[in-house]
Structure 1
Amino acid sequence: MSHSSLFTAVSLGLFAGVTASAALAETSPLEQQLKDLDSFQVIAHRGASGHAPESSMAALELAHEWGADYLELDIQMTSDGELVAFHDDTLERTSNGEGHINDYTLAELKDLDTGSWFNDAYPDQVDDAFVGAEILTLEEIFNRFGQDARYYLETKSPQLNPGVEAALVKRLEAFDMIDTGRVLIQSFAQESLLTIHELNDKIPLIQLVWYYPSEEDDERLVEWTGVTPGPQEITDEDFQAVAEYAVGMGTNFIYEGEEVIDAAFIQKAQENGLPVHIYTINETDEMQRLLDWGVSGLFTDYPDRLIKLTE
């Protein structure tokens, strides 16, 4: 080979390498997040809520330390417009307060003890450190974990939290959580998800569904809000309609001891561009069964169990 040919060959090789590197470099963090949804996702349900009070800093710290892919939280709005992580619409189950969470200011909610109930409910896991745990604001969570975590946030009970979508998008933008591929927004309310998209169409959305027997015919399954037909009747077109605005679906697997979806449902959703995340799976035998079905991710109160299975 002549010197000129050798130079040309080397130059072309270097150029190809540079071009390949440039192509790799062009994958944005948001695009990478969406690619990662093709892999199995460990979703820590309200943090590691099998080990510590749900939605508490202790539960989130454990899930993060163990390497969960997402910290999953329900976002509600206080009467003075602050966003907090709290599941129930009412305070009684997981705090020493009472009434609707939305009727209280952040300062009033901060006075509540949201940890002691866990010690009462799980006497074999008592930890004095849980006593007095505070309701967390979304900002406190972002300040603690920042860009080192991914967040799977639900617009909870949007009918009770008017304006929650705008407030949430504002916080996500302020903390630069969207372009950096740090957040998924989930909701049972399709309208809430579409509102999020109107505010910022780059935010990836997850449509939550809940299947259960129809009151008229218990042999026939229906979906809670009617966003899709029941699993026996769902078509490619139904999945595609969801895929027009969402990047995945979150569904129950069991209703009152009876399975409501199967491996074929998961496969059909995935073939139509919708990864399927199943809530909330805590027993390892069920985890393994769903892994064998090829599910895209699981919500769990015990991310440590799930991580051990998927290692």
Structure 2
Amino acid sequence: MPDASPAACGRAPQRIIGHRGAAGYRPEQTIASFELAARMGVDYLECDLVSTADGVLVAGHGTTLSQTTDVTERPEFAQRRTTRTINGTRIDDWFVEDFTIDEIKTLRAREPVPAIRRCSTLYDDRYEIATLREIIDVTTALSATLGRHIGLYLETKHPSYFRRIGKPLEPALVETLDEYGLDVPGSGVYIQSFEVTNLRELREQLHLPLVQLTWVASGPYDRVSAGDPRTYADMMSPEGLAEIATYAEAIGPRKDSIIPRTDDGALGQPTSLVADAHDAGLAVHPYTFRAENAYLPREFRSSLRRTDLGDLESEIEAFLAVGVDRLFVDHPDIAAEALGKRHASTPGGSTLNGTFT
């Protein structure tokens, strides 16, 4: 097999994105999670952005609060439980857009998958929900403390939904980035979305690289709701990638789109997605690499227990070998070990956390 490494292809060094911080070790998207990820060696911190009732952007994976906070145990908010339809799915829960920022700040973060990440539950109820401004501030401070630049990956979550309810994410995002002087090439900030319309609009408003996230089924909800039949699979075809390249610099596919699983759960043969994306001028940033057996290919599991940690390093090595550019990782220390070894073994290779690109 020819060498598909970035060095051999003349591409930038491969990098680590701390997915919601160090989500394998701390409740996700908390300041503690971001701080730990930075100290474990990530090049970028990633978070999802949603809006409060008064228009403040906060970190949250989706708009619901029951899985990631202690809201279910807060009697003063019991009447806020309601049912909403988001991206075509009816959900009964508490929703961030029904709370002001002052109310959100009274909630405490919790591990969203406690059955898998029991150790992380030791940190439940310790941390607040982080705002975008707090995340930028802590990233700046960590960069200064650690002596290296740490970038940001910011995802606009359910943008068409928030626009429909009169709380669009984009104006506050653009305003905040401008306020901090981050809307400039080379600032290390990437903007990402599973939808297309808002990325195309942000292309005209920002000077930052954009990432088109993709899924394995259906299509972007803004297109689905408009009756557009194009699916994510269509978008990952050579023709679809060429279209993405007109408004974005990278794709963020689910890792199964790059190396599918076989029927028995092992890694199969790589698809042509990485090569096709590179041919279109797009970088490839797959998600999400996690160390628990529950998430690993069969050959890298350490036991039959879903909660035990397996050989994530070997899975990462398999994806680095097919030429992915960056990795969304829940366990950054393991990724840093794998990437450090690969860089050290590449003739003329870059050291981890070297010059920012």
Q: TM-score, normalised to structure 1's length?
A: 0.77
Find the aligned partners of 1:186 and 1:156 in 2 and give their Cα distance. 9
Distance 1:265 1:119, change over 3 A: closer
Alignment of 1:273-288 (within 5 A): 273-282=281-290, 283-288=312-317
Counterpart check, 1:247 vs 2:249: yes
Q: TM-score, normalised to structure 2's length?
A: 0.67
Distance 1:230 1:143, change over 3 A: closer
The aligned amino acid for 1:172 is: L
Find the aligned partners of 1:211 and 1:260 in 2 and give their Cα distance. 16
How many residue pairs get aligned? The number is 263
Identity of aligned residues (%): 32
Are 2:57 and 2:173, in contact at CA under 8 Å, matched by a contact in 1? yes
Q: Where does residue 208 of structure 1 map in the other structure?
A: 213
Find the aligned partners of 1:261 and 1:78 in 2 and give their Cα distance. 43
Q: Where does residue 157 of structure 1 map in the other structure?
A: 158
CA displacement at 1:159 relative to structure 2 = 2.2
The aligned amino acid for 1:277 is: H
Distance 1:224 1:81, change over 3 A: farther
More strand by share: 1
Q: Where does residue 327 of structure 2 map in the other structure?
A: 298
Distance 1:122 1:192, change over 3 A: same
Are 1:38 and 1:275, in contact at CA under 8 Å, matched by a contact in 2? no
Counterpart check, 1:171 vs 2:164: no
Distance 1:224 1:133, change over 3 A: farther
Find the aligned partners of 2:332 and 2:98 in 1 and give their Cα distance. 33
Q: Where does residue 11 of structure 1 map in the other structure?
A: none
2:272 aligns to what SS in structure 1?
helix
Are 1:254 and 1:260, in contact at CA under 8 Å, matched by a contact in 2? no
Are 2:28 and 2:111, in contact at CA under 8 Å, matched by a contact in 1? no
- Which runs of 5 or more structure 1 residues have no equivalent in the other structure? 1-35, 215-222
Find the aligned partners of 1:78 and 1:37 in 2 and give their Cα distance. 40
Alignment of 1:73-92 (within 5 A): 73-92=47-66
Distance 1:230 1:83, change over 3 A: closer
Are 1:208 and 1:250, in contact at CA under 8 Å, matched by a contact in 2? yes
Q: Where does residue 78 of structure 2 map in the other structure?
A: none
2:234 aligns to what SS in structure 1?
coil
Distance 1:101 1:246, change over 3 A: same
The aligned amino acid for 2:156 is: T
> What do you get for the CA RMSD once the two structures are aligned?
2.8
Counterpart check, 1:134 vs 2:163: no
Are 1:284 and 1:306, in contact at CA under 8 Å, matched by a contact in 2? yes
- Which runs of 5 or more structure 2 residues have no equivalent in the other structure? 1-9, 72-92, 144-149, 220-227, 291-311, 341-357
User: Alpha-carbon deviations, 1:4-56, whole Å to 9, x = none?
Assistant: xxxxxxxxxxxxxxxxxxxxxxxxxxxxxxxx973212011000000100001
Find the aligned partners of 1:145 and 1:90 in 2 and give their Cα distance. 25
Distance 1:168 1:273, change over 3 A: same
Distance 1:113 1:266, change over 3 A: same
Q: Where does residue 277 of structure 2 map in the other structure?
A: 269
Q: Where does residue 41 of structure 2 map in the other structure?
A: 67
Find the aligned partners of 2:203 and 2:115 in 1 and give their Cα distance. 41
Distance 1:293 1:224, change over 3 A: farther
User: Alpha-carbon deviations, 1:67-118, whole Å to 9, x = none?
Assistant: 2111010011111010001112211111122511111111111111113667
Q: Where does residue 181 of structure 1 map in the other structure?
A: 187
More helix by share: 1
Q: Where does residue 203 of structure 2 map in the other structure?
A: 197
1:229 aligns to what SS in structure 2?
helix
CA displacement at 1:257 relative to structure 2 = 4.8
Are 1:187 and 1:207, in contact at CA under 8 Å, matched by a contact in 2? yes
Are 2:110 and 2:121, in contact at CA under 8 Å, matched by a contact in 1? no
CA displacement at 1:284 relative to structure 2 = 2.4
